[in-house]
Amino acid sequence: MSANQWTIATARDALRKGEISAVDLTMSCLTAMDAGDALNAFVWKTPEIALDQARAADERLKGREEAPAMCGIPLGIKDLFCTKGVPSQAASNILRGFKPEYESTVTAQLFGAGAVMLGKLNMDEFAMGSSNETSCYGNAVNPWQRKGSNVQLTPGGSSGGSAAAVAADLCLAATGTDTGGSIRQPAAFTGIVGIKPTYGRVSRWGIVAFASSLDQAGPMTKTVRDAAIMLGAMVGHDPKDSTSADLPVPDFEAALTGDIRGKVIGIPREYRMDGMPEEIEALWQQGIAMLKDAGATVRDISLPHTKYALPAYYVIAPAEASSNLARYDGVRYGHRAALSAGDSITDMYEKTRAEGFGPEVQRRIMVGTYVLSAGFYDAYYNRARKVRALIKRDFETVFAAGVDAILTPATPSAAFGLGEMSDADPIQMYLNDIFTVTVNLAGLPGVAVPVGLDAQGLPLGLQLIGRPWEEAALLNCAHVLESRAGFVAKAEKWW
């Protein structure tokens, strides 16, 4: 096994013992990254930065068992994170040429702990999409293919580049962000682990904003243990994000005891959708059996407003996006359209935004503009916020009744083909988020865990939803599911 295929936990132990240098580990990933161009996962490569950081990590590591866990660990960083002096475009043409003068809090913390940045990762434009097909860099490609087929599949989205890079061992782990499922759906499509923490657990400062009341960053990793290790380096209070929680940070890895005896796992009946593939239902039943076998109590629960989560989300997220994306006006950064003589400042705004934003982003900005406009604000936006309150109340009710975590499918299908949805109604694409979006609306932590393969040999995942701020217990539950499922399959290398 070459070093780029290692987990964070393996690499950490080897680095601390001096069995490998951070430079050698980084070289191994840089080689894999360069050989992985067909996946279009890395859109900006930063080998000089990586080697500088790796050399610094080696200085810090020298025989020190107490070096931070992330010291010397090579990562990919989603293009949504501002990284100082390195292009940070949110996969949009409107931010072409933008090189931040500052570092996001998450990347600053990771680099402060000694992590190494290999480059920036592909994603849907402004994180709006579920297939990575709205990116200005072109599609990221899933390393997985259907048995006996070379049809290119989506790695999911919006963190599609992150998922593809981790699944293909181009890096040890990657950062992702999740507004409606953008960490968990791509993780499920590529057979990796992804956790969206409780809203407020991770600072949003320096992450290009999509929908500020829903956005959270999290790790995308090969194992649950790695998710626990990397999450520990990403969380914490940040005075620069007013919604960042000032709470003690638990030792997530230490919580992975494997003991979930007596825990109550809720199975929400509303997540059994009409037309859901039988394989997804079967996978869910397997997951239930695994947790039961580990000593958990399984209980049927009801989350009655589930059906309304997607329509509420597709009011609230575009409303916030239309407001957040108003800043792209061609004045302070990014693209400005070429103007004709006599063009006014309004012409400049309109031309710049028409050229800079892709069709899906334009559509969402306009939906948001409409639902916030005079006369419709109450009918759409306020009503959606009331429904959101009810969705959150559904979860509070079951948690108050003693449920510790909730088990659901992560996605309604396995990865689909790139281009397969291009003629479909936008709503068809939105349905990808059906199991994940409730978690963002309620601000809860949710984790996708790979559990099995479908008949075509593609990975399928389950989602566990936890109580607010209880990522540690949630990850322990995910760890049990992961161990029982014993998912070890890897994509067969074709790239």
Catalytic residue among 78, 120, 196, 222: 78
Relative to beta strand 405-409, strand 264-268 is parallel
The reply to whether 495 sits near another protein by the rule CB under 8 A is: no
Cα atoms found within 13 Å of the Cα of residue 400, Cβ hemisphere only: 6
| Distance in Å, CB of 186 to another protein, minimum | 23
Residue closer to another protein by CB (options 151, 389) is: 389
* CA–CA separation, 272 and 276 (whole Å): 7
| Least spacing, CB of residue 6 vs another protein, in Å | 36
- The reply to whether 98 sits near another protein by the rule CB under 8 A is yes
Q: How far is the CB of 168 from another protein (least distance, A)?
A: 32
Please state the φ and ψ torsions of residue 328, each to the nearest 5 degrees: -85, 90
128 near another protein, judged by CB under 8 A: no
Among 1, 150, 261, 346, binds another protein (CB under 8 A): 346
Stretch in the footprint of another protein (CB under 8 A) among 39-47, 186-194, 330-338, 445-453: 330-338
Q: Which of 254, 282, 331, 455 binds another protein (CB under 8 A)?
A: 331
Nearer to another protein by Cβ, of 329 and 482: the residue is 329
Establish whether 182 is a catalytic residue. yes
Under rule CB under 8 A, which residues in 53-92 are in contact with another protein? none
Q: Which two tokens stand for residue 66?
A: 């107490």
Binder among 51, 277, 308, 456 for another protein (CB under 8 A): 308
Calpha distance 391→386 (Å, rounded): 9
Residue 20: both structure tokens together: 């490998």
Would you count residue 186 as binding another protein (CB under 8 A)?
Answer: no
User: Which one among 13, 24, 52, 350 touches another protein, defined by CB under 8 A?
Assistant: 350
Cα 259 to Cα 153, 226, 263, 407, 479: the distances in Å are 37, 18, 9, 17, 10
Task: Give whichever of 260 and 439 is closer to another protein, judged by the CB atom.
Answer: 439
Q: Could you tell me the smallest distance in angstroms from the CB atom of residue 247 to another protein?
A: 10
* 120 vs 479, beta carbon nearer another protein: 120
Residue 147's identity, in one-letter code, is K
Restricting to residues 234-253, name those near another protein by CB under 8 A: 239, 242-243, 245-246
Regarding 284 and contact with another protein (CB under 8 A), the answer is no
- Identify residue 365 by its one-letter amino acid code: I
> How far, in whole angstroms, is CA 186 from its chain's centroid?
7
Would you count residue 363 as binding another protein (CB under 8 A)? Answer: yes
- In the set 135, 182, 203, 244, the catalytic residue is 182
Contact between 328 and 97 under an 8 Å Cβ cutoff? The reply is no
With CB under 8 A as the contact rule, the residue among 72, 200, 219, 250 that binds another protein is 200
Other CB atoms closer than 10 Å to residue 298's CB: what's the count?
A: 16
Active-site annotation holder among 130, 158, 162, 322:
158
Instruction: Note whether 349 binds another protein by CB under 8 A.
Output: yes
Per CB under 8 A, the segment of 107-115, 272-280, 288-296, 322-330 that binds another protein is 322-330
Examine the residue annotation and report whether 242 is marked as an active-site residue of this protein.
no
CB of 101 to another protein, least distance (A): 4
Min CB(276)–another protein separation in Å: 19
Radius of gyration of the chain from Cα atoms? 21
Of 335, 414, 454, 479, which lies in the binding site for another protein, with binding defined by CB under 8 A? 335
Site for another protein in 412-471 (CB under 8 A): 425-427, 430, 441-443, 468
Q: Which of 298, 303, 231 is nearest to 481 (CA)?
A: 298
Is residue 384 close enough to count as binding another protein by CB under 8 A? yes
Active site residue 158: yes
Nearer to another protein by Cβ, of 225 and 364: the residue is 364
**Residue closer to another protein (CB basis): 263 or 388:** 388
How many positions of this chain bind another protein (CB under 8 A)? 73
**Binding residues among 364-383 for another protein as defined by CB under 8 A:** 365-367, 369-371, 373, 380, 382-383
Counting contacts by CB under 8 A, is residue 329 touching another protein?
yes
Let me know: does 25 contact 74? Beta carbons within 8 Å.
Answer: yes
Asked if residues 269 and 302 have their Cβ atoms less than 8 Å apart, the reply is: yes
Tokens describing residue 90: 């949110």
Report 211-230 residues binding another protein (CB under 8 A): 213
Chosen residue from 339, 420, 489, 490 binding another protein by CB under 8 A:
339
Q: How far is the CB of 345 from another protein (least distance, A)?
A: 5
Amino acid, single-letter form, for residue 141: V
Q: Could you say which residues in the range 140-169 bind another protein, by CB under 8 A?
A: none
How, if at all, do strands 42-45 and 264-268 pair?
A: unpaired
Supply angle C-alpha 133, 137, 138, rounded to 5. 40
Catalytic site positions? 78, 158, 182
